[in-house]
Amino acid sequence: MNTNTLNLLENRLDSANVQKLKALENPSLLDFVADFIELCNPKEVFVRTDSSSDAEYIRKKALEFGEERKLGLPGHSLHFDSFFDQGRDKKATQYLLPKGKSLGHYGNSIDRQGGLEEIRTQLKDIMKDKLMFIAFFCLGPLHSDFSILAVQITDSAYVAHSEDILYRPGYEEFKNKKSPSFFRFVHSAGELESNVSKNIDSRRVYIDLEESTVYSVNTQYAGNTVGLKKLALRLAINKASKEGWLAEHMFVMGINDEGGKKAYFCGAYPSMCGKTSTAMIQGESIIGDDIAYLWANNGKAAAANVERGIFGIIKDVNSKDDAILFKSLSQPGEVIFSNILVDKHLKPYWIGKDAELPSSGINFAGEWFPGKTDECGEEIPPSHKNARYTIRLSALENVDPKLEDSRGVEVEGIIYGGRDSDTSCPVEEAFSWQHGIITKAAILESETTAATLGQEGVRVFNPMSNIDFLSIPLGKYLDMNLDFGRKVEKPPFIFSVNYFLRDKHKGFLNDMEDKRVWLKWMRLRVDRAVSSLATPTGLIPRYEDLKALFKKVLGKDYFKKDYIEQFTLRVPENLAKIKRVGNIYAGAQNIPQVLFEELKKQEERLIECQKKFGDYVSPDMFKEETA
């Protein structure tokens, strides 16, 4: 630490907070902190250690500043974002790249030097009348070689409070490791009006990969401001590409066999495809619902949840379909609700909650009543469709005991799930790691719904459900995933699931609870406890095995006609998908040749099957593969 840094800290901070920083004995960290204290020019600075008193100080400030409001149950609070600040701003989220460097078609970027000058200009004196919070966190379990240290600078008590719920404390980890390598996040909500960010038109989220730093300004929505979430995922993907591990948009969960023996699975699903509902499935255990780090550990694939909490969409969470989560959200404990409706009794209400709709209340648009419209004449719903809850996983009764294991958990299966009305069967296993990465993960698509985008059935290309967060070229990312399977002696089995197969007359061919059966079949497969049927696209269940599982797991009959409808191979649709996605990759740069080769092999198998059996092939036509 240079003399200027020490002088600045001693001049701007009280002695207690200066000592908190000096105790870390980390010159790189202190130089970073001093730079932004000088630039943002806060009225006061608070340094958060891992102590419970420091955590309580931040919770109280969130209420004192009006960023949160108390609700009826102890520990529950409510946060509102601006009416126009209700989601991740993809357009304003940009990578700062040096001249001549590109991330390819999917990397939204600007010139690094110009971006840094702009964001530092915006941050100049932005906290002059505010309290700056400096907080330290750990991405991943404590005392783990694969966790990443992070520091958050913010003027939002709500952001600091949210991160305290979502992430492990990192002050003592910084003190012990004294590493110059850490992720850095700088945020300011900017000028406030009625306690929400006023200058939304100047909202910026800039990601500097060279310095592992994220800047966000003039925004409060957590997806833009809680830096350790998807913004940190971008930094982690870049770091992982240099170090030979994976940072993925995946849940981690435990699935039990009949005897109660657990196997751990990861799963990647685009939005609205059943990711959180799968991770929270009845009878199984959850380690995480959103982001996982995967690495090779003694010849096996290991994974850990980056987070210790959930920042989840609350729409349609109810006591019937989400019993465990609903119970935790309905009892005393530390929970932040955002952009929902609160009635005069300080009870929260959201779309899809199985409770009576209040006749009036306050929501993200102010005073609310049924039929209230916005300036365009559109009816304002009681809660925003992207309304959220923030809660610790430890508050859930199905949390897995290995959540905090510094070694992670051994991953035996990886699931890729999309929203697909007419092509993929409900569950299928890949032939190999390479086949799975290419034909299950790299060609993953999700159909839009009329409720969200106004046009139903538009297929969105989203390989590994991670396309929005790639901080490296797509071809390099595919190589990373393919290489990972070579680093372990027994790669995890790869599966695909599709909960949204439809018939134009009958509607959905799966019930919501059927996913419990698909999970149990996958659990049997990782132990090779049941055999399968080999199709041109992968391995599917035998009817006899599913019939037994439906009775055992759900207590209901499973009829052969339903099995045939669900698992009929739809050759034209599968061929169309290969062509559609193949064209996307053909237009991208430096895509590994093995992708085109694997897709070609699958195409040839499908065409050969089509010649023998026609366009739509009953599962009865396929041969059994022994377990």
Active site amino acids: 273
| H or E stretch at 336 | strand 335-338
Measured distance CA(368)–CA(443) in Å, rounded: 43
Measured distance CA(536)–CA(172) in Å, rounded: 53
Please report the beta strands in 517-590, taking only residues with DSSP state E, as ranges in sequence order.
532-535, 538-540, 569-570
How do strand 341-342 and strand 93-97 relate by DSSP bridges?
unpaired
Measured distance CA(21)–CA(25) in Å, rounded: 8
**What's the token pair of residue 566?**
């669900």
Measured distance CA(184)–CA(488) in Å, rounded: 32
Give the closest residue to 344 by CA, choosing from 363, 331, 372: 363
Q: Do residues 97 and 111 touch, judged by C-beta distance below 8 A?
A: yes
Measured distance CA(246)–CA(548) in Å, rounded: 36
Measured distance CA(501)–CA(503) in Å, rounded: 7
**What's the token pair of residue 593?**
């040749």
| H or E stretch at 248 | strand 246-248
Site of tokens 């790639």? 470
Site of tokens 């609870």? 513
**What's the token pair of residue 490?**
């027994």
How do strand 93-97 and strand 109-111 relate by DSSP bridges?
parallel
Alpha carbon of 43 to those of 37, 374, 486: distances in Å? 10, 37, 53
Measured distance CA(469)–CA(107) in Å, rounded: 9
Site of tokens 């053909």? 586
Measured distance CA(81)–CA(386) in Å, rounded: 11
Q: What angle do CA 234, 286, 525 make, to 5 degrees?
A: 95
Measured distance CA(139)–CA(305) in Å, rounded: 8
What's the longest Cα–Cα distance across the chain? 82
Give the closest residue to 113 by CA, choosing from 205, 206, 182: 206
Please report the beta strands in 482-571, taking only residues with DSSP state E, as ranges in sequence order.
493-498, 502-503, 507-508, 532-535, 538-540, 569-570
Q: Which residues pair with 532 in a beta bridge?
A: 625
| H or E stretch at 238 | helix 230-243
**What's the token pair of residue 300?**
């096996």
The phi and psi torsions of 132 (rounded to 5 degrees) equal -95, 135
Q: Roughly what angle, to the nearest 10 degrees, separates helices 571-586 and 593-613? A: 160
Residues 6+ apart with CB under 8 A from 40: 123, 124, 125, 126, 127, 128, 132, 153, 155, 186, 188
